Amino acid sequence: MSFRWKVYILALVSFLVGTSEYIISGILDKVAVSFGVSIAAAGQLITAFSLVYGIFTPITMALTSKMDRRRLLLGGLGLFAAANLLAFVLPGYGLFVAARMIMALGAGVVVVTALNIAAKLTPEGKKASSIATVITGFTASLIIGVPLGRMIADVLGWKSIFAGIALLSIAAILILRLTIPQLQGDKPIPLREQLALLKRPEIALGLSITFFWLGGYSIAYTYLSPYLLKVSGLGDSYISAALLIFGIASMIGSKLGGYSTDRWGVHRTLFGGMTLHIVMLLLLSFVVNAWVAVFAVLLFWSLAAWSTGPTQQYHITTLAPEASGVMLGLNQSMMQLAMAAGAGVGGIAVQRISLSSITWFGVAGVAIAILATLLLYRLGAARKLEVQQSM
């Protein structure tokens, strides 16, 4: 089997993990009703998942850095499959939260190891495209996994989604055992060295862009399904279509962000994308009882929000080119922490203010990200001027 097919298999595994993470947003109203909890409490399932993923993944990967990559991937996927099975069979909200936390432990190992294996299996000159393919699998879960999960939930019940993911993960373990060779681990990079990078102002600012951009996005996206039902006035039959449009636009937005970065540069792309992000969140607050208008706003919101993704991934590596791999790892953890914080803040807003307030809190988060981008741009300009004057 060629390396390309192996990378595609890894992308499918990444798709399963992405679906398990994002699906809660698509069925949040159903989860809340099933467990008899508030929408805000159901939203904390995303907080728990993202916190465990963001905090423990770098620690786990550091501790297992010397371990055979195939063995680590299969172990992580086994834990992930078991957690999805537990999510299906265990009763009650508390046990479901525990299952989600175990799921996140396995998910973090699977995604990072899959990216590492893709790079190791691919010849020089094609490594970046292979890594992008695996990441696309994760992103595709927004396009296919979330709306499809909503449809399955309508027919078979929402818990059946996790049973399906568990069975597909077990099948993936068998396929990976046959297709992925044993691969040596990497030289470990101590966590102390990784965290030392955070002391540099430009890196702290760069990661703060990720945190507030994705945090602002997460505040609104986490509660999107109940928002569309109760605030935008969409009928339940429209939700799957809305999520599908949102997912398709996210992939197009990622492509546009990469193109714009190459053509117009990082800062113009970040400023433009996040400004449009804010405008669309504001418009979503005012568009009600008109599904065409709501769909249009969702499309442009997703385009704008996800145009920032590849741009920021590239941007973060330029801040410390000598440690680009570590920077990407830190950025991945920051993204998960941002998702957790966004879901948490959104839950507080829903519980103490109103469901309709989440778009305004999302705007505030993205606005802070724009401010951090401006400060980082000025810091970079000031340092360039110092270098020129010293010559």
Q: Which two tokens stand for residue 106?
A: 């396995």
Spatial contact of 22 and 148, defined as CB atoms under 8 Å apart:
no
pLDDT at 382 over 90: no
The pLDDT, as a whole number, for residue 251 is: 79
Average pLDDT, stretch 228-255? 85
How far is Cα 77 from Cα 114, in angstroms, rounded to an integer? 10
Question: Model confidence over 62-89: pLDDT tens digits?
Answer: 778 778 888 889 999 999 999 999 999 9
* In the predicted structure, residue 189 carries a pLDDT above the cut 70: no
Residue 186 to residue 325: CA distance in whole angstroms: 12
DSSP per-residue letters across 324-371 = HHHHHHHHHHHHHHHHHHHHHHHHHHHHHT-GGGHHHHHHHHHHHHHH
- Quote the pLDDT of residue 255: 78
75 and 109 Cβ atoms separated by less than 8 Å: yes
State the first-to-last Cα distance of the chain, in angstroms, to the nearest integer.
55
Q: How confident is the model at residue 290 (pLDDT cuts 50, 70, 90)?
A: confident
Global confidence as pTM? 0.77
Comparing CA positions, the residue from 111, 98, 96 lying closest to residue 15 is 111
pLDDT score of 132: 67
Indicate the pLDDT class of residue 238, thresholds 50, 70 and 90: confident
Q: Is the predicted pLDDT of residue 102 greater than 90, yes or no? A: yes
The whole-number pLDDT of residue 216 equals: 94
DSSP letters spanning 198-213: GGSHHHHHHHHHHHHH
For the record, the structure tokens of 287 come out as: 């568009």
Cα atoms found within 13 Å of the Cα of residue 221, Cβ hemisphere only = 31
Write out the two tokens for 82.
């078991």
Domains and CATH numbers, the chain: 1-188 (1.20.1250.20), 192-391 (1.20.1250.20)
Query: What is the band of 127 on the pLDDT scale with cuts at 50, 70, 90?
Result: low
Share of the chain above pLDDT 90, in %: 31
Whether the pLDDT of residue 49 is over 60: the answer is yes
Roughly what angle, to the nearest 10 degrees, separates helices 69-89 and 160-179? 160
From residue 90, alpha-carbon distances to 56, 93, 371 in Å are 24, 9, 45
> Given this model, what pLDDT does residue 191 score?
65
What is the token pair recorded at 291? Answer: 């599904």
* DSSP-derived secondary structure letter, 158: T
Question: Which residues, other chains included, contact 371 with Cβ-Cβ below 8 Å and sequence gap of 6+?
Answer: none
Q: At residue 326, does pLDDT exceed 80?
A: no
